[in-house]
Each structure stands twice: as structure tokens, then as C-alpha cells.
Chain A
């Protein structure tokens, strides 16, 4: 019966080609708009490390001064404690033995002096971090590995470099044991990363989080030994100022990300107590005047707190879906007109023995087919639209970049994966059914005799 209905549907579509095309294009445009918005949303809303959702936690403490929020700052954000810690507090967290792993880190930029004369010196983003970084975030290595915990306190001159840097400096060969000049100092390469692109770069969301990981990773003690200034500092007390390098360690200024890996919920509870008790102790010493507001949050909550998806992206999806609804409503009118114009044939079929369900099913099949054709066309339009978005927005300025990972990152925003393709098919069928259910029901309810005399 489905085959029969499909044949009838295709014939019916051919009977009014212009009207059919109009309906298909209406559905296609609605689906294309939705798919483009949802693809961009999906790229931003993905979980970068779902298998560690209940293990990884960002650590925050409310170290701010008392008083109302500064003008212009969204209140939602003001509820949250700052997303970075000062040196003293970060080290207190790091000293706890409750976490299985613990990381204190920040981002900086350093000049690389290549050995090869044909490569000019260039800046690379560098992460100064404690040793657990690689194991905690499941960073893949191509060659070698990270450094031992002891290297964090002795400023050992070792470095882990990215695949890009290894490709650029050493042509992609195994460079373990070789040295690079970073910020004027020699570092021995002990690890080379494989392609790694957490999306978003959740462990440090400064600048929005949609950027590549750093190209060099050095032990944490290099903050002092190398005087590697952080890229981002925010001072949370009115009297605090960073006037020189040493004031990074003494002033109430925030520049360190702190992450812990906890074994289970009991460990989380104990660690929360540990942080709360530390803050209570600090209050007694005249610091942290605000009420307790220490949040130890998993990656999902962390991304939400940082509004990684972005209100604009959410709004785009809402507008696109609303547009699809408008397209569906327009299609309902067109389908109703089309079906009613063919009502005599439906009446004839009823006279010949078709039940109401037969008629409704036959007409629904037609709109579902129309939805699928509209969906296929919508997908083609989506691919075109995403390519355009990629060219106009996401890949702008990449022409000069020699890092292929940047292009991959840019493409990830407009890449339609299998789940999105599946969503497009579901959306097409759903659109067809929603647009056609009322007209099909109406045509099924018509008395069979109504149009027979006029057919």
C-alpha cells in the first residue's frame, strides 16, 4: 500500500508542478535556515570531553570585593565567582591531596627562535602548567610524553610541543631530545603532541574558548624562572595593581586556571569542604569579604557558566526554527488549496471503497515525500549557506596562517556531521507531516458524494 501511495503521490506532485515546486522550495528554505543555525549551534554546544564529565572539575572561589556589580555587567555572570584564581589560592588548591590529579596553569606567548635560517622568529602561545595537564585532559602524544611532577618545582628546561610546531620546525620527524629556543632560553623537547583540538578549548575559555590549544607547554615553575607574563590578568580588589612581575604573586589579581580530577562524588564533597574551609580561613585573615561562593563544577556547567554557546547563537536557532514554522504554516495553506482542488478525485476514491484512513494516508504520503524532497533541497542549500558562512566569517584571515589546524578549526563551525544529516531527515519528515496533517485530515473528512457530480 505504501508503494501504491508513493506512486500516487509522485503523480499528484507532477500534476501541479509549479505549485509542488513552490511548496518544496518553501520547505527547503525553512529547513536550510534551521540546519545552518543548528549546525553552528551544534559546533559550539558540543561536549569536548564527555567521558570525563563526572571526573573533571574547574575550581573557582569568590575572591571579589563587596559591593554592587559594575555597570553593564550581566547579573547572571555576576552570580558566578571569577573564573580564574590568584597565585596564593591556586597553590592552596594544588596542595590538596584529595584530587587524583590537579592542574594550575595559565597562557602566555613566547618568541621561538628557529635553528633553520629560512624561518623567521615567531610568537607561539605557550601554556605554563603543572605536570598533570596531559593525563588529566587525555592529551594525545605522537612522540614522548609529559614531565614528572618534580619538574614543576625545579623549572626543568623541558617542553612539549604541538604537532604544528614540530611540523614547522622539524618537518614532522621525531624531534625528541632536540632543543628549541623559547623566550630566549633553550628547552629540550620531551614530547610532541598528536593532532589535538578540544572544541571548545574548555580548560581555558578566555577569549571565547574557540581557539587552538597552545603550541608549547612548559613546567609551572617557569612562571618565575622565565618571568613568563600571563596574557590575561584581572584584579578583583580596588586597591590591587600589577606594577611589576612580583606583584603577580602578592596582589589580589587573578590569572590562573585551576582544574582537578576527582575520583567520585565523595571526593568532590570532601574537596568542596576543603576549598570552603580554606576560604573561611582566609576570611578570618581579612580576605574574601563576600559570602561563600566556591564552585567546583564539571565541564558542562563550566561551559554554561562561561556562556560558550552564546546568546546570539541560541537566538539564531530560535529565529531559524520560527522561520521554519512560518514556512510550514505557508505550506499548510498551499497544500490545503492543492488537496481541495483535487477533492473530487478523493471523493471518487471514497466511492470506490477507500476508507478515510486510506485517503488521509495517501495524502500524508504525498506531503512527506514533498518534505523529503524539500529536505534534500534544503540540505543542498544548507551546504551552500555553510560554505558561504565559512568563507565570509569563520575562515577570514586564515589565508596567511601556515597552521592547517586553524582551517580545521574554522571548518568545524560549519561542518555538518552524520547526526546533523539525520536531524535534517527527521526535520524534513516532521515538516511534511506537520504541514500536511491538517489538509490530509480535512480531505479525509469530506463526504464522498460532495464532489462526484462535479468531477
Chain B
């Protein structure tokens, strides 16, 4: 699914160079749930941005579903982000002046999907996250947990192959975090690959694998479970 070899990423200013990723190599299997941990500044988010084609990298190779993405044009990267990747952020990142329905609609719109098909997918995704009755609400009218569920609906409505979640429970209390985690696990059980950055060791242990990053390098890898073949082959589902 994801195959990174010797990826390096350096942030440069006039006076300082910061090596965010150094010879970073990681292989993620289809349907796998991988937790990324590490201290602040260790390179977790940079890894997620590179994996999500939000940032280019300076060295190494990256294959996503067998496709070398290092030489893609900006438009091709946008298309892959739109069709194959779903994003979930710590701060939910919903568009404040769009209602929940329109927020979920945003990525489908950029796919130029017909309105009827979009409607079907949006309602299904919102039903799945339990927000069918809130689709006309603005994000500000929802609780943090509901907002994150709306963000998850947005991430899954396009049936992505992989979901990249950057501390999805970071802004939520324990109960809400548990609900979100269960939702992510259920999506993963449907075959969608998930890479989740977290500071929470308990949540990390619920993944198949925990990858611990220190100074832009993989420091440790812990295995907690295996990917079920059936679910791995099933692909994503909204």
C-alpha cells in the first residue's frame, strides 16, 4: 500500500536546516492500522504530510499502491489525494461557514462527481458516523466529538484506500476519544488502511503496529496484531 525508502525531508531557512525525516523507510500493507508515535518535533506530522502528498520530499522513493509518486505533477498529486487518501486532523478542519453536508461534499465536488452519486455517498457517510440528523448544522453548532465524526465522514465518503489521521483524538475527552477510536477501527475493519499519529500509548496499542519516530527516523516498531486477509482485500467502504 505505502512503501517509503530512505525518504529525507529538510526544512531550510536562511540560518538553519531542520532534518524532519532522515533515511525514513516504512512499508504499510493494505488494510493495516499503523499508529505513529513520537515526541513533539520528531517528524510524525511531516511523515504524514509526505505520505498524504501534501509535502514533497527531498530524497528517497515513495510508492503508493505501486505508483511512484515522486515525479507527479501538482494536478496528479491533487487527484491522488482526492481519490485515494482521506485526511482527519486534530483540529477537525471543517470549513466553518459550510454546513456538515457541504463539508462532506467538498472532496466529492473536486472529483466532479454527479450530484446524485454525491448525495448518496454523503448521506451514507453521515449515517455511518451517526450524524444524519445534523447534516444541516454548521460545525460551530456541534460538539468536538461530532465535529470529528463529521471530519471522518468527509474522509471516508470518497472511499479512499488510506486514511491519514493526525492526532484525531487530541482535542477530545476520553469518552469522545473512545468513540472516535471505535469508529476508526470499524473503518479499518472494512479494509481501509489507516495511519494514525497519536501521543496516546493506549490508543497506539489498539493499532496493528506502532511505529515510534525519534529525530526523523524510525526508532522502534511494535506489533500488536495482524491484518485480517478478508478485510485487507475488501477495500474501503463508506
Q: Which residues of A contact B (CB under 8 A)?
A: 1, 4, 11-12, 14-15, 344-345, 348-358, 447-449, 452-453, 455
Chain A residues with CB below 8 A from B59, complex form: none
Chain B residues with CB below 8 A from A353, complex form: 78-79, 81-83, 107, 110-111, 158
A449 in contact with B78 given A352-B107, A354-B110, A455-B93 (CB within 8 Å): no
Chain A residues with CB below 8 A from B82, complex form: 352-354
Contact B89 A452 (CB under 8 A): yes
Quote the shortest CB–CB distance from B108 to chain A (angstroms). 9
Quote the shortest CB–CB distance from A99 to chain B (angstroms). 68
19 contacts between A and B (CB under 8 A): A11-B97, A15-B97, A348-B93, A349-B110, A351-B52, A352-B154, A353-B83, A353-B158, A355-B75, A355-B78, A356-B74, A356-B75, A452-B49, A452-B89, A452-B93, A453-B45, A453-B90, A455-B89, A455-B91
Quote the shortest CB–CB distance from B218 to chain A (angstroms). 21
Give the number of chain B interface residues (Cβ < 8 Å): 29
A449 in contact with B54 given A351-B87, A353-B81, A455-B91 (CB within 8 Å): yes
> B56 — nearest CB in chain A belongs to which residue?
A447
Contact B89 A358 (CB under 8 A): no
Quote the shortest CB–CB distance from B166 to chain A (angstroms). 8
B106 at the interface (CB under 8 A from A): yes
Contact A449 B79 (CB under 8 A): no
Quote the shortest CB–CB distance from A441 to chain B (angstroms). 14
> B167 — nearest CB in chain A belongs to which residue?
A453
A345 in contact with B78 given A351-B54, A353-B83, A449-B54 (CB within 8 Å): no
B2 at the interface (CB under 8 A from A): no
A14 in contact with B97 given A352-B82, A353-B79, A358-B110 (CB within 8 Å): yes
Contact B55 A447 (CB under 8 A): yes
Q: Which residues of B contact A (CB under 8 A)?
A: 45, 49, 52, 54-55, 74-75, 78-79, 81-83, 87, 89-91, 93, 95, 97-98, 106-107, 109-112, 154, 158, 166
Extra contacts besides A349-B106, A351-B87, A353-B81 (8): CB < 8 Å: A349-B110, A352-B87, A352-B154, A355-B78, A356-B78, A447-B55, A452-B89, A453-B91
Chain B residues with CB below 8 A from A351, complex form: 52, 54, 81, 87, 93
Task: Report Cα–Cα, A455/B171, bound state, in Å.
Answer: 13
Most buried by B among A349, A353, A356, A358: A353
Give the residue of A4, A15, A355, A448 whose beta carbon is less than 8 angstroms from that of B109.
A4
Quote the shortest CB–CB distance from B125 to chain A (angstroms). 14
Contact A448 B54 (CB under 8 A): yes
Quote the shortest CB–CB distance from A11 to chain B (angstroms). 5
Chain A residues with CB below 8 A from B98, complex form: 11
Task: Report Cα–Cα, A1/B108, bound state, in Å.
Answer: 12
Task: Report Cα–Cα, A113/B98, bound state, in Å.
Answer: 79
Contact A355 B74 (CB under 8 A): yes
Contact B55 A350 (CB under 8 A): no
Quote the shortest CB–CB distance from A340 to chain B (angstroms). 17
Chain A residues with CB below 8 A from B89, complex form: 452-453, 455
Task: Report Cα–Cα, A344/B91, bound state, in Å.
Answer: 12
Most buried by A among B82, B83, B111: B82
A350 in contact with B78 given A452-B54, A455-B91 (CB within 8 Å): yes
> B90 — nearest CB in chain A belongs to which residue?
A453
Chain B residues with CB below 8 A from A352, complex form: 81-82, 87, 106-107, 110, 154
Quote the shortest CB–CB distance from B238 to chain A (angstroms). 15
Task: Report Cα–Cα, A358/B45, bound state, in Å.
Answer: 26
Chain A residues with CB below 8 A from B109, complex form: 4
Chain A residues with CB below 8 A from B54, complex form: 350-351, 447-449, 452
Task: Report Cα–Cα, A354/B52, bound state, in Å.
Answer: 14
Chain B residues with CB below 8 A from A355, complex form: 74-75, 78-79, 110
Task: Report Cα–Cα, A447/B52, bound state, in Å.
Answer: 13
Chain A residues with CB below 8 A from B83, complex form: 353
Most buried by A among B79, B107, B110: B110
Task: Report Cα–Cα, A354/B112, bound state, in Å.
Answer: 11
Most buried by A among B45, B54, B111: B54
Chain A residues with CB below 8 A from B75, complex form: 355-357
